[in-house]
């Protein structure tokens, strides 16, 4: 029987409740206002007969003596067909449906089912009566967009159970019982087309966890070649405001080699989230030619929404990602921005009067961030297929300071660091990923020795550029000046891409390999010029010709013609050695 408590203290969105009976960590409770409205809350600490809960709504009107009803259930999400194309808040309320019921302003205490109850799905059984199954095994499928959505044995089922009955192929709503299972003790378990799962408990109904080794192609040259991401890996994209994180997210969402994209906007500015909501349905999916939203799910929790819901939105996103991974799909989770999630943790830690860590963040910040990223990964399912969750955390350090605690805690656990630079964004060099500060622990699509040589040229060119700022161009040798021009050439024609050009916006792995090989040959070619002006003029023309080359279709006649022109011009200045 669920417990009932009384509020004894209110501190912002933190309430202290005296209770009788049993209460669990992360259990959901509803704080009842005098008007009858109930506000959803989560237990975050228990001390003796007192529980402290974070309220996911504005607590105006709550006072000592008000009742709190504990549900006996952990903070959970609904998992089933109908998730894709949806826009949820941090508690998995469908925002379009909320807007229809509430109008322009959302009402406190209004909660709706996450999945549509009246929509019929065409169910096709894959299991039959008498089969032995366990949690996570597939009972049947329903079509959801371009995927076959697996209806699985609830993850909470442990051990072997027997399928006593299963419905024949036909149309059903998610509330219909589609199978009845029987465990070893003879207890019957009714299975519907959806299930619930606590957001802070990882889904582990798989056979084996694998090491991420396969590169995840983003079709962004600076990422795939220089700072690759592995399928099932983790990476972060910290950067100051205006450095191009939102555009980079959209590019990764469109062109990453994944099946499902989940965008968790955990505390991002409302204007940016609105821009995402408007633009994603308009984005064309290169895979299908339809809207990108058909395989996308957005969890929307803006900076103007209750602070406590930021944490919920992060865990809601990763739980849904794990659910689709159990179907053998590859999922990309973009969390934007984890800095504001960490700020919410800091605020709650302060209200709990915990001993603060660096910059008043909680002392357990690093372990909390690590536990989130650890939920990514590649897994081998019991049917032999594999699925993956790749996690990207956008970090928004104040003033672009990468030394602050959230960025540093993130860098300790991720496999790749794509640091966005204010300097490069001001120079309009997009994507504004800094090529000398970023790094990756994963293997990419290009031979690592060649990539290191290219990075060495970038570093040497940067050194010459810094020197020229002191001694001037006339104080630089012609050899150093050529090194500088080669580094600028590599930067302009390979690291930078035009996100709004129909061809240059995305560069396939095959094209990257081909183009990098040609650009690498040019960088390694010894060149001879009469003076610095002739060298500068040559590289200006070469850069423009190569940019034009990037904007024509791969293997087209124009592509081959421009390549020939480029190498003919390089041959004219090649130094005889």
For 186-227, give the DSSP string. Answer: S-EEEEES-EEEETTS----SSEEE---SB---S-HIIIIIS
Q: Which CATH number fits domain 4-74: 2.40.30.20, 3.30.460.10, 1.10.10.10, 1.10.260.30?
A: 2.40.30.20
Position 440 confidence tier, pLDDT thresholds 50, 70, 90: very high
What integer is the mean pLDDT of 203-215? 95
H or E element that contains 179: strand 177-182
Query: Residue 68 above 80 pLDDT?
Result: yes
The answer on whether 240 is annotated among ligand-binding residues is: yes
CA distances from 263 to 317, 395, 573 (A): 7, 14, 49
For the chain, give the mean pLDDT. Answer: 93
Per-domain residue ranges of the chain = 4-74, 79-105+207-440, 121-193, 448-573
Query: Residue 281 above 60 pLDDT?
Result: yes
Q: Which CATH number fits domain 121-193: 3.40.50.920, 1.10.260.40, 2.40.50.100, 3.40.50.300?
A: 2.40.50.100
Per-residue pLDDT at 290? 86
Parallel/antiparallel/unpaired status of strands 67-74 and 27-32: antiparallel
482-507 pLDDT per residue, tens: 999 999 999 999 999 999 999 999 99
Contact 82, 116 (CB under 8 A): yes
User: Two tokens at 482?
Assistant: 């050529």
Phi, psi of 325 (to 5 degrees): -65, -35
Per-residue pLDDT at 1? 57
> How far is residue 562's CA from residue 25's CA, in Å, rounded to a whole number?
64
Position 242 confidence tier, pLDDT thresholds 50, 70, 90: confident
List of residues 6+ apart from 476 with CB closer than 8 A: 464, 467, 468, 484
Position 282 confidence tier, pLDDT thresholds 50, 70, 90: confident
What integer is the mean pLDDT of 114-141? 95
Q: Could you give the residue ranges of the DSSP H alpha helices within 229-364? A: 245-255, 270-279, 308-325, 338-351
> How far is residue 313's CA from residue 372's CA, in Å, rounded to a whole number?
12
Position 30 confidence tier, pLDDT thresholds 50, 70, 90: very high
Per-residue pLDDT at 83? 96
Task: Check residues 217 and 305 and name the one with the higher pLDDT.
Answer: 217
> How far is residue 517's CA from residue 562's CA, in Å, rounded to a whole number?
16
In eight-state DSSP terms, residue 384 is S
Per-residue pLDDT at 270? 66
Task: Check residues 13 and 106 and name the one with the higher pLDDT.
Answer: 13
Neighbours of 242 (CB within 10 A): 13
Backbone conformation region of residue 389, classed left if phi is above 0, alpha if psi is from -120 to 50, else beta: beta
Go through the chain and tell me how many residues it has.
577
> How far is residue 198's CA from residue 216's CA, in Å, rounded to a whole number?
29
Per-residue pLDDT at 291? 86
HEC letters along 246-281: HHHHHHHHHHCCCCEEEEEEEEECHHHHHHHHHHHH
List of residues 6+ apart from 530 with CB closer than 8 A: none
Query: What are the beta bridge partners of residue 152?
Result: 138
List of residues 6+ apart from 268 with CB closer than 8 A: 302, 303, 336, 337, 340
Per-residue pLDDT at 271? 66
The answer on whether 94 is annotated among ligand-binding residues is: no
Contact 91, 312 (CB under 8 A): yes
Picking from 311, 373, 315, the residue whose alpha carbon sits closest to that of residue 347 is 311
The answer on whether 243 is annotated among ligand-binding residues is: yes
Query: Residue 27 above 90 pLDDT?
Result: yes
Task: Give CATH for domain 448-573.
Answer: 1.10.1140.10
User: Two tokens at 441?
Assistant: 């622990």
Q: Which residue has the tokens 């609105």?
A: 274
Position 279 confidence tier, pLDDT thresholds 50, 70, 90: confident
Phi, psi of 165 (to 5 degrees): -155, 155
> How far is residue 166's CA from residue 382's CA, in Å, rounded to a whole number?
21
User: Two tokens at 379?
Assistant: 């897994």
The answer on whether 244 is annotated among ligand-binding residues is: yes
What integer is the mean pLDDT of 148-156? 96
Per-residue pLDDT at 286? 86
The answer on whether 398 is annotated among ligand-binding residues is: no
Query: Residue 562 above 60 pLDDT?
Result: yes
Picking from 162, 177, 152, the residue whose alpha carbon sits closest to that of residue 322 is 152
What integer is the mean pLDDT of 510-530? 96
CA distances from 554 to 15, 217, 545 (A): 61, 17, 15
Q: Within its chain, how far is the Cα of 365 from the centroid?
A: 19
User: Two tokens at 489?
Assistant: 């050439």
Sequence-ordered strand ranges (E) for 80-119? 87-88
Query: Residue 105 above 80 pLDDT?
Result: no
The answer on whether 239 is annotated among ligand-binding residues is: yes
Domain 79-105+207-440 classification at class level: alpha beta
Query: Residue 406 above 90 pLDDT?
Result: yes
> How far is residue 38's CA from residue 111's CA, in Å, rounded to a whole number?
10
Sequence-ordered strand ranges (E) for 313-433? 330-336, 377-380, 386-394, 416-417
Phi, psi of 293 (to 5 degrees): -65, -20
> How far is residue 266's CA from residue 303's CA, in Å, rounded to a whole number?
8
User: Two tokens at 398?
Assistant: 């104040």
């Amino acid at each position: 029987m669920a417990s009932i408590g009384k509020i004894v203290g209110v501190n912002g969105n933190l309430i202290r409740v005296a209770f009788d009976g049993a209460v669990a960590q992360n259990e959901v409770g509803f704080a009842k206002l005098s008007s009858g409205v109930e506000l959803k809350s989560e237990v975050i600490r228990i001390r003796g007969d007192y529980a402290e809960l974070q309220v996911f709504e504005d607590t105006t009107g709550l006072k000592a003596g008000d009742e709190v009803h504990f549900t006996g259930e952990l903070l959970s999400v609904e998992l089933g067909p109908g998730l894709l194309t949806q826009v949820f808040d941090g508690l998995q309320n469908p925002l379009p449906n909320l807007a229809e019921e509430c109008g322009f302003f959302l009402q406190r205490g209004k909660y709706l089912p996450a999945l549509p109850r009246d929509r019929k799905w065409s169910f096709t059984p894959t299991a039959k009566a008498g089969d032995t199954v366990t949690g996570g095994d597939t009972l049947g499928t329903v079509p959801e967009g371009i995927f076959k959505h697996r209806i699985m044995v609830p993850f909470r089922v442990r051990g072997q159970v027997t399928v006593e009955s299963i419905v024949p192929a036909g149309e059903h709503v998610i509330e219909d019982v589609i199978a009845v299972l029987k465990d070893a003790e003879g207890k019957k378990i009714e299975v519907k087309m959806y299930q619930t799962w606590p957001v802070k408990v990882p889904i582990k109904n798989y056979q084996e966890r694998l090491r991420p080794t396969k590169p995840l192609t983003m079709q962004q040259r600076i990422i795939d070649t220089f700072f690759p991401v592995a399928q099932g890996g983790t990476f972060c994209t910290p950067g100051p405001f205006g450095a191009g994180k939102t555009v980079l997210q959209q590019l990764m969402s469109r062109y990453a080699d994944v099946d499902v994209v989940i965008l968790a906007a955990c505390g991002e500015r409302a204007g940016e989230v609105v821009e995402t909501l408007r633009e994603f349905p308009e984005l064309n999916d290169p895979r299908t030619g339809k809207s990108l939203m058909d395989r996308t799910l957005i969890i929307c929790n803006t900076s103007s929404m209750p602070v406590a819901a930021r944490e919920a939105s992060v865990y809601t996103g990763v739980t849904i990602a794990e659910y689709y991974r159990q179907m053998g799909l590859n999922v990309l989770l973009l969390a934007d921005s984890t800095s504001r999630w960490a700020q919410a943790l800091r605020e709650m830690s302060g209200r709990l009067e915990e001993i603060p860590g660096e910059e008043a963040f909680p002392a357990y910040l690093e372990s909390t961030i690590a536990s989130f990223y650890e939920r990514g990964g590649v897994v081998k399912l019991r049917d032999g297929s594999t699925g993956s969750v790749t996690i990207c955390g956008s970090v928004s350090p104040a003033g672009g300071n990468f030394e602050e605690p959230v960025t540093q805690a993130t860098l300790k656990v991720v496999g790749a660091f794509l640091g966005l630079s204010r300097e490069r964004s001001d120079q309009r060099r997009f994507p504004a990923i800094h090529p000398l500060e970023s790094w990756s622990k994963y293997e990419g699509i290009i031979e690592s020795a060649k990539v290191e040589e290219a990075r060495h040229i970038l570093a040497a060119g940067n050194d010459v550029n810094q020197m020229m700022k002191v001694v001037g161009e006339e104080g630089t040798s012609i050899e150093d000046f050529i090194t500088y021009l080669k580094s600028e050439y590599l930067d302009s024609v390979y690291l930078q891409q035009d996100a709004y050009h129909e061809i240059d916006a995305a560069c396939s792995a095959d094209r990257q390999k081909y183009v990098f090989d040609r650009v690498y040959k040019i960088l390694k070619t010894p060149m001879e010029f009469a003076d610095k002006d002739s060298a500068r003029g040559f590289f200006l023309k070469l850069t423009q010709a190569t940019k034009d080359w990037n904007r024509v279709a791969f293997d087209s006649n124009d592509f081959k013609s421009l390549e020939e022109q480029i190498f003919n011009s390089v041959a004219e200045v090649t130094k005889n050695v």
